[in-house]
Amino acid sequence: MNFEPDAILERRRLRRRLSLWRIAAIVVALGAVALMIVSTADVKVPGARHIARLEVSGVIIDDEARDSAVLDLAEDKNAKALIVAIDSPGGTTSGSEGLYLALREVAKKKPVIAVMGSVAASGGYITAISADRIFARGNTITGSIGVLFQNTEISKLLDKVGVDVELVARGPLKGKPSPFEPLDDQGRKVLNTLIEDSYRWFVDLVAERRNLTREKALELADGRIYSGRQALEVKLIDQIGGQREALEWLEREKNISKDLPVHPVKYGEEDEFASLLLDSSIFRNFRKSLNLERLTLDGLVSLWHP
């Protein structure tokens, strides 16, 4: 079939116009998506005044990247205050101590506020008392002031399945406690001394930071947990509330506007895909179901076991 030259040219023009409209529609759609992402993301503007927010969740362990990021906040002149949002049952005593010391360095330069979530117990409470003021919900679980050392002894199980374990050690206390033999009196005495030393440190810290007598701190440090309301009554926290109340307190007491943007403290994100995977709800629930975080704890532990 033959077409007139003018008809062919017109057909080509229509095709070009249609392609241009398609491209324009795609550009508009991409722009809308980008605008939605920007509007919902927490965008940091370099040099802008803000309030930093550190999230402490799950089991607390030694974390150099976390502690380094916290220490950097002390020198960040644009971060006018730090809110520490805690939702943790605790963790290793040394990890909690490291975080506490880093937060105290920040507190020398600017206000540090602790906001407790569902749980801020044991090592989570060590984290909280680094702050100038502690907020908690009425039904927050906190307290659990104490230290524990646990060791699983499976020698009888190994006997039943016919497994022998040979241990060669130099020194009467080397390798104690061991999962392969019962703990003797000498080993138990050494462990008790170790636990008592850390417990004394914890109690003294509570007495100092909460302005309590040591006798009162000892009375509260029997390992029990408290609701937020109970903790307020015994002066383990300062106020019932959350982040909104914390921001209002900063404005009222420290002259820091509650309308300043709140920026999350980010650290340890070398592998974003792995981070997203590990923090996904599916993997997080899988870890919780197997108790994986707690199974990896070594050494002295300041942790509330629900």
Task: Determine whether 46 is exposed, middle or buried from the number of CB atoms within 10 Å of its CB (0-12, 13-18, 19+).
Answer: exposed
At 187, list the tokens: 């080993």
CA distance 48 to 54: 18
- What's the confidence (pLDDT) of residue 100? 98
Confidence of residue 213 (pLDDT cuts 50, 70, 90): very high
Q: Does domain 50-152+172-303 have CATH number 3.90.226.10?
A: yes
- What's the confidence (pLDDT) of residue 44? 46
Which parts of the chain are beta strand (E)? 50-60, 79-92, 112-121, 133-136, 141-143, 225-227, 239-240, 262-264, 301-303
What are the beta bridge partners of residue 115? 85, 135
Q: What is the dihedral of CA 40, 43, 49, 53, to 10 degrees?
A: 70
Is 174 annotated in the active site? yes
Pairing of strands 79-92, 50-60: parallel
Q: CB–CB of 270/254 below 8 Å?
A: no
pLDDT over 60 (residue 125): yes
- What's the confidence (pLDDT) of residue 42? 45
- What's the confidence (pLDDT) of residue 180? 74
> Cα–chain-centroid distance for residue 257?
25
**CA atoms within 13 A of residue 187's CA, in its CB half-sphere:** 15
The catalytic residue among 122, 130, 198, 302 is 122
- What's the confidence (pLDDT) of residue 54? 98
pTM for this predicted structure = 0.75
Give 221's contacts (C-beta < 8 A, 6+ positions apart): 145, 146, 199, 202, 203, 206
CA distance 41 to 54: 17
Range name among 68-82, 176-190, 242-256 with the lowest pLDDT average: 176-190
Is pLDDT larger for residue 2 or for residue 256? 256
In the chain, the percentage of residues whose pLDDT exceeds 90 is: 56
Is pLDDT larger for residue 163 or for residue 285? 163
Is pLDDT larger for residue 146 or for residue 10? 146
- What's the confidence (pLDDT) of residue 185? 82
Confidence of residue 287 (pLDDT cuts 50, 70, 90): very low
What are the beta bridge partners of residue 141? 119, 227
The catalytic residue among 44, 174, 189, 288 is 174
Is pLDDT larger for residue 135 or for residue 297? 135
Is 144 annotated in the active site? no
Confidence of residue 163 (pLDDT cuts 50, 70, 90): confident
- What's the confidence (pLDDT) of residue 85? 98
Q: How many CB atoms lie within 10 A of CB 235?
A: 13
The predicted-structure confidence for 222-270, as pLDDT tens digits, reads as follows 999 999 999 999 999 999 999 999 999 999 999 999 999 999 999 876 4
The predicted-structure confidence for 170-180, as pLDDT tens digits, reads as follows 777 776 777 77
Average pLDDT, the chain: 82
Count the residues in the chain: 306
Phi then psi dihedrals of residue 248, to 5 deg: -65, -40
